[in-house]
Amino acid sequence: MFGAQILLVICASENVSLSAEVTSEKLYSRDVDLQAGQSTVNSYTYRIQNTNFYWQRKNKWTMAEVPTNFDGDNESNLKDVHLSEEETKVKELLQKRKSHKELLEEIKRKGREELAQNREERKTKREEKNMAESDSPDEEDYYIRTLSAMSISLQKPEKVLGTGLVYDELMLKHKNDWDPNFPEKPERISEPFKRCSELHLVERCIRIETQYGTEDMVLLQHTRELLEKVKSTSQMNKQQLQEFSQHYDSVYCNQSSYECALVALGSIIELMEQILKKKITNGLAITRPPGHHSMNDALCGFCIFNNVAIAAKHAVDNLGVKKVLIVDWDVHHGQATQKMFYDDPRVLYFSIHRYEYGNYWPNLRESDYDFIGKDKSLGFNINVPLNQTGMTDKDYLAVFHHVLLPVAYEFCPDLILVSAGYDCAIGCPEGEMMVSPACFGHMTHFLMGLADGRVCVCLEGGYCIKSLSESVALTLKALLRDPCPLLPPQIEPSDSVAETILNVIKVLRPYWSCFHYQDLLEDDSEDLCSFEEVNKLPPRSDVKFDKEENDSKMFPLTYTYPEEVEEVYFLQKKFDPIIDQLIAETALMRPPYRTCIVYDDDMRAHKADSRGHPEDPDRITRIFDKHVELGLLERCLRVQSRHATESELQLIHSSKYVEEMKELPEKTVFDLRKLAWNYNSIYLCQETYNCALLATGSLLNVVHTVLTGQASSGVAVVRPPGHHAECTKCMGFCFFNNVAIAAKYAQDKFGLKRVLILDWDVHHGNGTQHQFYQDNSVLLINLHRYDYGCFYPSSEDGSEEKVGEGEGEGYNVNIAWNHGFMGDAEYVAAFHQIVMPIASQYSPELVLVSAGFDSAIGDPLGGYMISPSGYAHMTHMLSSLANGRVILSLEGGYNLTSISHSMCMCTSVLLGDSCPSLQITKPMDR
């Protein structure tokens, strides 16, 4: 029995013991079940399959001799075939065993049917159980309790209530009757309002009716004597008004000044109260006269009543607000506001101002960086003195990233009041700075991530009408949640600003945990800092400061500029064409949809054939269902899913690898299992290729939707993930590198020159890194658990020392965590100190986020502690880039509750909702 002997050899190789009789029986069987149905003998020498009867004996048969209806299991088909003696014996044996064989086949058939039925029943029960458990109050309650223990609230995203706007022509009545060229003039509010109207911003705002401030409000910060003096100006003639004004530095009054000052004060307080009552989310007050120089008992610097200081005092004394952050970006130091809260820890005062070591107005020693508050308020007064003119966007953003935002996140204010002076804007003769109008939109955007978005912006200075108007308009656009305009690529901050930042950190380090991981200068100051001024404390001996005892008693009635300023700003009008060019080049796009989203249930078909695998189809279903539950889906533009083409896959992957993946649907379960063993952390099924195509193609459709201006941002709820996939192989649950392909697609189809890929998955995105390691057209920033190379994918490629090669050197940034369990504090610190400074300098045209949520609280693989709010804040910061063109593509994340909440919070922020408050503790020193 030649055939039986061959089969016995094969069976022996498969560790299957068969008797000669049974082996003979199996000789003509279509499918020989060798290992419980897991293998067939299709590749063996003898097979009978449909009409093909292969029996390779020498010169015995040809294919043409085989009947078309031949059935090896039917011995009648053997009658017309010449059989040898051995074959005749086999036939006889088959006849003898036919009844036994049929019985065995029937038993096996019923067994297979019963097994399949039981498998389906178990699968159905398991899916029902998983669904019930995943939606059970117990799991949700446990997750909420875990967050509550960390002082993190999990609440449904609240829609933005609207932006309030205060403006009244009544305030135009305040003007200088004896000096028509005085810089503080009525056009300072009328022209910005006009520009906001031209951009159709006013009609999108909720107009807040102007109110008169009361005397009680004024007395919160000013003396009765000062109030009565100002009140009396409404009855004075011109000469009396001049005599009154001469007693104050850079101040004028007319008969309407008192009324205008009350309207400015009352309207700002009304705007603030509307925000606190949650009738609006944020607001802008286009009011005058300004206020931040007005002292407790004296007018000063164009200011009558200190509007912002009074509003802050009213909030903490009368409205139950516990913590107020005042941000003063006017080019002049708000010395009066500082003095009013210098010993009050309820109010954190932050000022970035021109100082020139004390040589710039108001020429005060207390405007320097080492005045940080007193008693319980130590550290709650922050001065960032700028000691050179010509500071630009890069310098102001550096101050925000490295000083203001870290402290503000730790302070966690309930309300933010902005003393918004625009005299640091380009073209302003007062400040002689070079900040673009667009930069004010960015600074406003960053502040809106705090205090649940409760930001009240109040006009202070700004005396170049053209740049003032544009700056106010772009501030209002930011408050309305429009995308931040794209800033040009930046160079590094000036040495002067770097020196100031280091000085500020030096004096604040003992009082704020966010600076504790900074090195101490005392350790080795020469090695730590090359700036001489950082190694010593002010003041300079050659600077004369103004003090009360040497203040002039009488001040000039007219305002004059130095001759060189007059020449550049007024005679040559040097900056007018520059401002015009900035305005023309600033894209003020606002797509019809804030966010688009893609999801396809067909991606569930990729699944493991064993229970408990973390990369489960329910990952995307739970995320999508949570979007529906929270009302987010209906606010998004739905994008049609599609399959990626082979040419699109080959933007990153080799054609050979694509062909290998393309063959997966034709392989048996056994072959797929065997093939999966060749890869690292991979399972395969016949639907894997189709699902991987769908994931990549769907993301590309989101990219297309965003880059064609249909939506500002996008969310791709896709699987399988992609960032581990290499050019020639799959690994780490990933098959095609979705985000890497999307970056190349955006460059090839839309001509983008700069793309940022931010990968916050807990695992290092090795596949993405290898694709762009020598490419400076893609900036890749990875935040991942590294553990000195011991955490998956367990390669030195994830080290912080891997910075790119060739043209790509410096464009690969690995933030590799090595100690402990990182959470919100560490990730937010990394964003402030590394991610956002580098990304802002790079100025990408598109941001792609490899959004793995396996760093989230409760993830079984990551072991980290990022909250949904933490992801929301990271998304908010990223959305300041690339005209808001930020696209999140799902990567990892294996706790179904945490990933659904986390990704929903990201979508909510992209839709313009306020970031939930985030309690930041001390980042780990390491």
Cα 123 to Cα 125: distance, rounded to the nearest angstrom:
5
Strand order in the sheet with 455-459: 206-207, 163-166, 282-285, 455-459, 415-420, 324-328, 347-354, 381-386
State the Cα torsion 872-875-877-881 to the nearest 10°: -160
Q: Is the peptide bond before 539 cis (omega within 30 degrees of 0)?
A: yes
DSSP 119: H
Q: Classify strands 455-459 and 637-638 as parallel, antiparallel or unpaired.
A: unpaired
In terms of Cβ atoms closer than 10 Å to its own Cβ (0-12, 13-18, 19+), residue 12 is: exposed
Distance of alpha carbon 449 from alpha carbon 912, whole angstroms = 11
Residues 6+ positions from 367 with CB-CB distance below 8 Å: 333, 335, 351, 353, 355, 358, 383, 385
Give the distance from CA 389 to its chain's centroid. 33
Tokens matching residue 594: 């804030």
Distance of CA 321 to the CA centre of its chain: 29
The answer to whether the peptide bond before residue 192 is cis (omega within 30 degrees of 0) is: no
Q: Give the residue carrying structure tokens 């100190």.
A: 833
CA distance 742 to 232: 68
| Rounded distance between C-alpha atoms, residue 597 and residue 640, angstroms | 9
Q: Give the residue carrying structure tokens 């954190």.
A: 348
Residue 627 known to be catalytic: no
Annotated catalytic residue, options 174, 222, 292, 293: 293
- C-alpha 922/C-alpha 848 separation (Å) is 29
Angle at the Cα of 478 from the Cα atoms of 477 and 484, rounded to 5 degrees: 100
Q: CA 578 to CA 622: how far, in whole Å?
A: 51
Number of other residues whose CB lies within 10 A of the CB of residue 114: 10
Per the residue annotation, which of 333, 704, 723, 724 is the catalytic one?
A: 724
Number of H helices, E strands in the chain: 30, 18
Burial of 581 (0-12, 13-18, 19+ CB in 10 A): exposed
For tokens 């053997």, name the residue. 78
Closest Cα to residue 253, out of 239, 271, 273, 265?
A: 239
**Helix H or strand E encompassing 459:** strand 455-459
Residue 293 annotated in active site: yes
The β-bridge relationship of strands 52-54 and 47-49 is antiparallel
The CA-to-CA distance between both ends of the chain, in Å, stands at: 74
Closest to 494 in 3D by CA, of 398, 355, 352:
398
CA-CA-CA-CA torsion sign (853, 855, 858, 859):
positive
As a whole number of angstroms, the distance between CA 261 and CA 217 comes to 12
What number of residues does the chain have?
926
The Cα-based distances of 485 to 639, 768, 883 in angstroms read 25, 28, 5
Token pair 């108007």 in the structure block, residue: 469
Say if residue 413 is preceded by a cis peptide, omega within 30 of 0: no
DSSP-derived secondary structure letter, 861: T
Q: Catalogue the active-site residues.
A: 293, 724
